[in-house]
Amino acid sequence: MRVAALAVMSVVSAMAADRTLLSEGMPNAVYFSADGKTLSSNCRDGRVRTWDVASGKLLKEKTVGRAMLIAPDVYAEQDEKAQTIRTWDLSADRQLQLINGTGRQRTAISRDHALMAMASPEERSVRILKVGSAEAARVMADGIGGASSLVFSPDGETLVSANYDNDIRVWKTKSGEMVKKVEDLTGAMFAAEFTPDGKELIMAGLDETVYIWDAKTFALSRKLKGHGETIAALAISPDGRTLVTGGFDVVSSKNPVKVAFWDLGTGKITRTVGAPHQVASLAFSPDGKWVAMTSGEKEVSLWSLGETGR
Amino acid sequence: MKPSSTVSRRAMLEICISRGILAAGAATAVSQTQLLAFWQKAEGEAQRPTSPEVLGPFFRKQAPDQRVLRAPGDAGFPLRVVGRVVNTRGQLVEGATVDMWHADHSGRYDTRGYRYRTKFTPDAKGDYAIETVMPGHYADRPAQHIHYLITAPGHKTLITQAYFATDPFFEGDVEKNWHKRGIADHRDLIMPVKLFEGGAGADQPAHAEVTFDIVLVKA
């Protein structure tokens, strides 16, 4: 018994965050840059901060208002009074798109930055826009609760919306045709990401379960249990072999939670570490050697996974 | 009610037709006096649609139909929630289903099962009654509330929440504090609470009671 407890402790201490990038104002979504050298997070104090990964030094602080990073180097800035959403290229400091006449929306951008999607809980719809064009290319009916996750496939051909009403809808982005509706889940999916090869879609949320879908047929291929709490965030390693899930305590976002590392080959958790508060976001570096996490008021944590990236 | 002089004949006709008091085909045959009487009847019967609220992250589909949500020994003050589901003319809505869910006394939603969750159909008169406990407070949304999702054929799906005027969150002054911290979006969703004393001779144990009527809008 004692030996087992010691073993658990050593795993946890080995996984203590290698670096904590001190921030203010509640860091939220987190992304590495494409070259992996910098890490950015939008904070709830209205700023996007960028750090150097190697030194942990704060490189840049940009005041953006109410904004959310939606891809590496892209953030969406929402102005509810003016009813606008603007998307920006963070490093070039260049506006990509201005959309007028919008209410509260969840926003996503395709990997090639050619398409944007916006989900409106008021209109109960999802719109697809071509970046650079103000007109909606497609308007699709969504569920009644608003999108809890909105994600493009890596090739931009497919858009997936998970709704707070528990249903998932999958559309072809070119035609707007709904190709799949999943109606048998009994909890909202708060996190969704396609595997890097685009072959699978991984989702998790209220019901503490990781769902792995075939990205061609959207048939459920696997269900992984073991995180043991509602899952708020997930990230997949660039080699597609490791999944990391971050928790959410349903009584308070300020209660401590877990971060679980999974071997996607075996479907088993390999390590579990603690996070001070609800995990807002997780990201792998492009070389797979680092995992970044935002959790709590002031910290962005970085874990080094070593040379193997596992 | 607006003075009739400011409402056009066309607007009055539209209101009367939309509420089913006047058939569309009969509109041209109605005198101004008759129309005014019909319109006043329509306005008098009109019910204000229940204000909407957000769905929130904790909704779970497929809740069982249960009218007694509290189990013996559950912590929390017993609460009875009653009400009816009607349309904007105050009429019974056929085929309505109501999802209701809330946090337990400690502020925790059941995310693994269906404690304090129900999906039911109101009775033949549109009435419902649910026995539960006062929802607890939780840090991220510190006003007690009950979530509702109501669907009915031919009507717009309504997502809303009921709050409690007795909630310490409102500091004893709902008029002043109802929008505190932006939690409740509409004053009309903060409901008065009746308190019943228990004890010897009482029909029921001590409990609170809230009436929450639901007024749906036609699709």
What is the rounded average pLDDT for all residues in chain B?
90
> What are phi and psi for residue A145, nearest 5 degrees?
-105, -5
Q: Are residues B200 and B96 in the same domain?
A: yes
Are residues B103 and B36 part of one domain?
no
Asked, for residue B66, whether it belongs to a domain, the answer is no
B149 with B199, same domain: the answer is yes
Q: What residue in A sits closest to B141 (Cα-Cα)? A: A252
DSSP H helices in chain A? 2-14
Q: Which of A29, A56, A25, A26 is nearest to A40 (CA)?
A: A29
B96 located within any domain? yes
Residue by residue, what is the 3-state secondary structure of B11-78? HHHHHHHHCCCCCHHHHHHCCHHHHHHHHHHHHHHCCCCCCCCCCCCCCCCCCCCCCECCCCCCCCCE
A206 and B60 in contact by Cβ < 8 A? yes
What pTM value is reported for the model?
Answer: 0.87
Strand B214-216 versus strand A279-284 pairing type = unpaired
Domain A2-62+147-304, CATH number (from 3.40.50.1100, 2.130.10.10, 1.20.58.1880, 3.30.70.1060): 2.130.10.10
Q: Which two tokens stand for residue A234?
A: 């997930």
- Same domain as B86, residue B36: no
Look at residue A12 and tell me whether its pLDDT is greater than 50.
no
Average the pLDDT over A297-309 and give the result: 73
Min Cα–Cα distance to chain B from A148, Å: 8
pLDDT of residue A129: 93
- The confidence band for A288, taking pLDDT boundaries of 50, 70 and 90, is very high
One-letter amino acid at B33 equals: T
Q: What percent of chain A has pLDDT over 90?
A: 71
Facing B57 at nearest CB: one of A121, A148, A254: A148
Q: What pLDDT does residue B6 have?
A: 62
Q: Is there a contact between A145 and B59 if contact means CB atoms under 8 Å apart? A: yes
List the single best residue of B53, B59, B115 to mutate versus A (max A Cβ within 10 A). Answer: B59
Give how far A249 is from chain B: nearest CA, Å.
9
In a domain, B70, yes or no: no
Q: Closest by alpha carbon to A233, among A177, A173, A280, A291?
A: A280
CATH code of the domain containing B132: 2.60.130.10
Is A146 in Cβ contact with B57 (below 8 Å)? no
pLDDT of residue B173: 95
Q: Could A188 and B139 be called an inter-chain contact, meaning their C-beta atoms sit closer than 8 Å? A: no
Q: Is residue B71 part of a domain?
A: no
What distance in Å separates the CA atoms of residue A305 and residue A307, rounded to the nearest whole number?
7
Are B85 and B170 found together in one domain? yes
Nearest residue on chain B to A231, judged by CA atoms? B111
Cα–Cα separations (whole angstroms), residue B175 to A165, B179, B187, B190: 32, 9, 8, 10
pLDDT < 50: residue spans in chain B: 1-4
Of the candidates B131, B146, B149, B144, the residue with the CA atom closest to the CA atom of residue B209: B131
- In this structure, what token pair is assigned to residue A238? 């660039």
Do both B125 and B173 map to the same domain? yes
- pLDDT value at residue B2: 45
* Whole-number pLDDT of residue A224: 98
Beta bridge partners of residue B207, listed in sequence order: B196
Q: Which pLDDT does position B98 carry in this prediction?
A: 98
Domain check: are B212 and B148 in the same one? yes
Report how many domains make up chain B. 2
Q: Is the dihedral of CA A199, A205, A210, A213 positive or negative?
A: negative
Neighboring chain A residues of B106 at a CB cutoff of 8 Å = 251
Pair (B209, B102) in one structural domain:
yes
Q: Domain range for residue B146?
A: 78-216
A282-306 mean pLDDT: 88
Residue B128 sits in the same domain as residue B189: yes
Mean pLDDT value across residues A261-274: 95
pLDDT of residue A307: 52
Residues B94 and B145 in one domain: yes
Is B55 in Cβ contact with A251 (below 8 Å)? no
- Alpha carbons A281 and B71: distance in angstroms, whole number: 38
**A252 touching B (Cβ < 8 Å):** yes
Q: Which among A120, A227, A250, A253 is the top mutation candidate for probing chain B, defined by the most B β-carbons within 10 Å of its own β-carbon? A: A250
In a domain, B113, yes or no: yes
Its sign, for the CA torsion B130, A184, A192, A173, is: negative
Contact check, Cβ <8 Å, B55/A185? no
Do B89 and B30 have their domain in common? no
Tell me the sheet residues that pair with A246: A233, A259
- Model confidence pLDDT, tens digit, residues B101-132: 999 999 999 999 999 999 999 999 999 999 99
Asked if residue B19 belongs to a domain, the reply is: yes
Cα–Cα distance for residue pair A211/A225, rounded to 1 Å? 9
Give the number of beta-carbon pairs within 8 Å between A and B. Answer: 57
Q: Is residue B58 part of a domain?
A: no
For the stretch A152-180, pLDDT in tens is: 999 999 999 999 999 999 999 999 999 99
- Asked whether residue B72 is domain-assigned, the answer is no
C-alpha dist (Å) from residue B10 to A117, B1, B14, B146: 41, 17, 6, 41
With CB atoms and an 8 Å threshold, state whether A230 touches B111: yes
